């Protein structure tokens, strides 16, 4: 199996997870809160600041305050999230390829819903109602 390419915006979260000893749940909570992974060091307690809560406790507190629950419903690691994003991207790319292949040999008139013999476009809305009466 090919190695998974992790995008740069997710790599910074992996680095922050290692640097600040966070769990996958804490990283996901911080991402949902919109925190910047490069700025987590400012929020983290370095032992010299006894008034600050540890980073994991701080993230839990503000997550609970904003979302009303203590943890995300489904916890995914950054690597799992990257794998799912890659799978979604592959599905979209294949669907796009199939759409283009399906429309490549079709004349433009049939793509608009008109047959080549029909010169008048189908009636829309109110005009169709008037014609029925």
In a domain, 51, yes or no: yes
In a domain, 76, yes or no: yes
C-alpha span between 4 and 23 (Å, rounded): 21
Predicted TM-score (pTM) of this structure: 0.67
C-alpha span between 109 and 78 (Å, rounded): 47
In a domain, 36, yes or no: yes
Per-residue pLDDT tens for 43-85? 998 888 888 899 999 999 999 999 999 999 999 999 999 999 9
Number of structural domains the chain divides into: 1
Q: Which residue has the tokens 């079709």?
A: 106
Domain containing 42: what range?
24-82
Q: Would you place residue 131 in the very low, low, confident or very high pLDDT band (cuts 50, 70, 90)?
A: low
C-alpha span between 60 and 48 (Å, rounded): 21
Q: What is the pLDDT of residue 17?
A: 95
Per-residue pLDDT tens for 88-122? 999 999 999 999 988 655 555 555 555 555 555 55
In a domain, 72, yes or no: yes
Q: Which residue has the tokens 């008034």?
A: 51
In a domain, 93, yes or no: no
In a domain, 129, yes or no: no
């Amino acid at each position: 199996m090919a190695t998974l390419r992790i995008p740069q915006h997710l790599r910074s979260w992996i680095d922050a997870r290692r640097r600040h000893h966070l769990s996958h749940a804490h990283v996901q909570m911080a991402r949902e809160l919109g925190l910047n992974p490069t700025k987590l060091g400012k929020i983290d307690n370095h032992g010299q600041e006894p008034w600050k809560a540890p980073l994991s406790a701080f993230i839990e507190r503000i997550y609970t305050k904003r979302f009303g629950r203590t943890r995300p419903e489904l916890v995914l690691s950054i690597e799992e999230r990257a794998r799912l994003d890659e799978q979604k991207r592959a599905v979209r790319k294949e669907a796009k390829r199939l759409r283009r292949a399906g429309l490549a040999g079709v004349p433009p008139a049939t793509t608009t819903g008109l047959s080549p013999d029909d010169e008048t476009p189908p009636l829309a809305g109110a005009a169709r109602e008037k014609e029925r009466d």
